[in-house]
Amino acid sequence: MDEVHPELPRPRRSTAFWALLLGAALLFAAFAALGAWQLQRLGWKQDLIARVERRLAAEPVRAPGADRWQTITKAEDEYRKVVLTGTFDHSRETLVGASTELGTGYWVLTPLRTVRGDWVLVNRGFVPPEFKTRASRTASETQGEDRVVGLLRLSEPGGGLLRRNVPEQDRWYSRDVQAIAKARHVVEGPVAPYFVDAAAADDQTRWPRGGLTVVRFNNHHLQYALTWFAMAAMTAGVGVWLWRVERRRALGLPGSKD
């Protein structure tokens, strides 16, 4: 005669259990998605760094003219070495607050009328507060046609992180090309949507000092990805633990809590 075993009762899951398990599943999905997104960002950042390094190592090219201004992008053009020829209008220079390896002071932005007839703002370099006035450094001003080599930078509209530009008071905390050109009445021709950070000059005893552009990219995406994946794994562990505890409770096994 076959031995008959009584059927074990089907475990009953509480509403609270299902709610907790659903919450754990949603958190797991969110953490895993954030980890995957950070891996995508890691690939993008590594590609950006490689492209910028190639630009910095390349020979300078002619600065984009008006026919190319509409196609300039941060990803494809910023930090590209460029060269332009023209004449500075030192009477319309603008001082923009700066913090550099030489201390705090100002960037000196001067409009350059290029040989093509358009205008480009050139960041001629840094000056400390004692050389803020133009009269203190007129000896370093080039006269007539000049050749400038530097890095192409995109306009910085609005102001700095904590302080806004106040054009009517001539207080500038970012290199906002359009606002500066308007404040300085640069209207004799089109103004480029970018500015150029001038390279260091041979004579490093005069102000302003060029070549102080900081090219640095924070790249912590791998650490962020590992953190999100670790949180996803912990959430999965919590879900498994909840399942086991609820199963023991439903079956009335020893060690479970009602």
Domain membership flag for residue 55: yes
Q: Which domain holds residue 241?
A: 22-59+217-251
Query: Are residues 85 and 194 part of one domain?
Result: yes
State residue 222's pLDDT score. 80
- CATH of residue 89: 2.40.50
Domain membership flag for residue 207: no
**CA distance to 17, 56, 98, per residue, from 194 (Å):** 59, 17, 18
Domain membership flag for residue 118: yes
Query: Are residues 145 and 188 part of one domain?
Result: yes
Query: Are residues 225 and 118 part of one domain?
Result: no
Query: Are residues 133 and 94 part of one domain?
Result: yes
Query: Are residues 89 and 189 part of one domain?
Result: yes
Whether 92 contacts 187, CB under 8 Å: no
- Identity of the residue numbered 193: P
The pLDDT profile of the chain, 258 residues, written as one tens digit per residue, is: 455 555 555 555 567 777 877 888 888 888 888 888 888 777 767 776 667 677 777 788 899 988 889 999 887 888 889 999 999 999 999 999 988 888 899 999 999 999 998 999 999 999 999 999 888 888 777 888 989 999 999 999 888 777 899 999 999 999 999 999 999 998 888 999 999 999 888 777 788 988 787 777 677 778 888 888 888 888 888 888 877 777 777 666 655 554
State residue 13's pLDDT score. 56
